[in-house]
Amino acid sequence: MTLSPRFSLTVGLLATLCLAAIIHILVVLSIPRNVQHSAYDNVATHGPDRQFNLLPDVQPGKEALPDLDPAMKHAACRFQLADGPVLFDASIPVPFWSIGLFNAAGEAVYSLNNRTAGAERLSMLVLTTEQLSILRENPPENLEDLIVIETETPISGFALLRAYVPHPMRSGTVDQALMAARCGGI
C-alpha cells in the first residue's frame, strides 16, 4: 500500500513530535543525575564533614553557594547518618536564625527558625529510626530537651545554618557564634 504524500507528511510530523516529547522528558529527568556539582558536593569544599564550616560572606562574585541572602551569615555541615546520629548544637545571639536540613539531592528534609525552636539554643538530634531505638535503651539525660528528627533511611545530607546580621558591627560576634556551633556525635 502506498500513502498519499500529505498523509506521509502528517505521519512524519506526528512521529517527530512524539519522539521530541520523549527526548524532552528524558533530558529533563536525566539532568539531576548528571550534574557535576550538586549543593551537597559544593558544601564539602568549605571544610571537613561532621562539623560546621563558616561560609565566606555573601558578596558579589564570591558567593559560596548560589542564591544565598547577603544579609545573612551562613555555616554548613555535611553529615552521613550511616556514620552515626548527628547532634546540632548552637547558640546564636541574633534576632533571627534558621537551620535547614537537606538530603544529598538538595531537597529540604526539615527546617526551623529560632522562634519555632522554642528556645534560644538550638539543640537538635538527627538519626534513623533504628539508631533512635538503640539510643532509647540507654538514653542520654537531655534527650527530652532535644528536637529529635527521625529518618527512615540513613540519609546523607547537609545542614545550612543562617544567621541574620542586624548591623555590620555585630558581624564578629555572629562569626564566633557560628564557628562555635557544633555538629557531630552525641
> What residues make contact with other proteins under the rule CB under 8 A?
1-4, 12, 15-24, 26-29, 31-32, 35, 37-39, 41-42, 58-61, 63, 65-71, 95-96, 98-102, 105-108, 110-113, 115-116, 160, 162, 164, 166
Q: Which three cell numbers stand for residue 15?
A: 512521529
Provide the minimum distance between the beta carbon of 137 and other proteins in the complex, in angstroms, as a whole number: 31
Provide the minimum distance between the beta carbon of 99 and other proteins in the complex, in angstroms, as a whole number: 8
Distances (CA, A) of 93 to 120, 125, 166: 8, 21, 11
Exposure b/e, 152-168, CB count within 10 A at least 16 = b: eebbbbbbbbbbbbeee
Q: Which is nearer to other proteins, 60 or 137 (CB)?
A: 60
Q: Which is nearer to other proteins, 63 or 135 (CB)?
A: 63
* Beta carbons of 70 and 122 less than 8 angstroms apart: no
Instruction: State which amino acid sits at residue 65.
Output: L
Q: Which is nearer to other proteins, 7 or 140 (CB)?
A: 7
